[in-house]
Amino acid sequence: MKRIKHSKFKNTGLIFELLVRQVASDTMNNTNSRALNVIKKHFNSKSELSQELKLYRQIATEKFVSENRAEKFVEAVLRARKEINESQLRRNKYNLIKELKSTFNVEDFFKSRISNYKLQASIYKLFEFAEADDPKEYVSSKFSLIEHIQSKPSKKIEGPSLTSEHKDVRILASKLVVDKFNEKYAKLSAPQKRILREYINNVTNSVKLKKYILTETIKLNNSISELKSSVPSKVVRIKLNEVANLLVKLNKKPLIEDKDVLTMLRYYELVNELKKVGDK
């Protein structure tokens, strides 16, 4: 009986996520992205890697209300995975990993924190192994996916609106064209661009990122406290006090998540709106 073990070096979904993050980091630093060339070369429409990636992303993004439908969906994805040319897929992965090793320091490349790492690992295990290899681990991985697919989307964080969605903060695959990326973020304020740059560049350094977020939350809290007096509505001022309390809670979090960066972007926008009120 085989032991079902996850390999991040062969996980198509995880590798693609890391490459996209590298593209985003290169873009924010105005440097030519070697990662973008790797994506274009190995994840083209004719690649078996691209076909497998579609299945990874379907499991990661699809949602169903009932457990029965979620289970049937997982089964359908597994059947689709078996239709992929396995020998060609192995060659594709071999060539991809070979180029990653020649292009990047792979130890540093794979150190990046991935928020949905457990999900990616469970998908990999079901794609690469059979139930007979390790029934217990296989079933555990399968039900982890079913629970993920069945779960409801998280509630929106209350606060000022921001046109960029959560997926934009995470820099999804559709942001591969550099000029489109720049166009998307052209209207962000300087502080918003800075925090995005810090997030992307320090995603592997949680201590440094946490320190930066701590400094910025203190600045935001002070700004909100100073500006709220210019707001005529007592109800809105009470809400602003609640926002300040949320910033304090953010400081106490041991780990900064993607949603926290989105929250910070919204707070920057809130401060800009408060300044407009004060200027009237």
Is pLDDT above 70 for 280? no
Q: CB–CB of 74/145 below 8 Å?
A: yes
Q: Read off the tokens for 263.
A: 């929250």
Is pLDDT above 60 for 176? no
Total-model pTM: 0.60
pLDDT band at 166 (very low <50, low <70, confident <90, very high): very low
- Predicted local confidence at residue 125, as pLDDT: 95
pLDDT digit string, tens, across residues 259-278: 788 888 888 888 888 887 76
Is pLDDT above 80 for 227? yes
- Predicted local confidence at residue 195, as pLDDT: 83
pLDDT digit string, tens, across residues 99-147: 999 999 988 888 877 888 999 999 999 999 998 899 999 999 999 999 9
- Predicted local confidence at residue 28, as pLDDT: 64
Is pLDDT above 60 for 235? yes
- Give the residue with greater pLDDT, 119 vs 157: 119
Closest-CA residue to 148 (of 38, 257, 59): 59
DSSP state of 154: P
Residues 145 and 150: their CA atoms lie apart, in Å, by: 9
- Predicted local confidence at residue 21, as pLDDT: 83
Q: How far is CA 65 from CA 62, 71, 200, in A?
A: 10, 11, 34
pLDDT digit string, tens, across residues 194-208: 887 777 666 555 677
- Predicted local confidence at residue 102, as pLDDT: 95
Query: Residue 112, SS3?
Result: coil
- Give the residue with greater pLDDT, 151 vs 169: 151
Residues 59 and 124: their CA atoms lie apart, in Å, by: 11
- What is the residue type of 212? Y
pLDDT band at 170 (very low <50, low <70, confident <90, very high): very low
Residues 211 and 62: their CA atoms lie apart, in Å, by: 35
Is pLDDT above 50 for 279? yes
- Predicted local confidence at residue 179, as pLDDT: 47
pLDDT band at 174 (very low <50, low <70, confident <90, very high): very low
Query: Residue 84, SS3?
Result: coil
pLDDT digit string, tens, across residues 29-79: 667 888 888 988 999 878 899 999 999 999 998 999 899 999 999 999 999
* Helices marked H in the chain: 12-28, 34-42, 48-61, 67-82, 86-103, 106-109, 117-128, 135-150, 166-169, 178-184, 190-201, 206-227, 234-251, 258-279
- Predicted local confidence at residue 177, as pLDDT: 40
What is the percentage of the chain residues whose pLDDT exceeds 70?
82
Question: Would you give the distance in Å from CA 42 to the centre of its chain?
Answer: 21
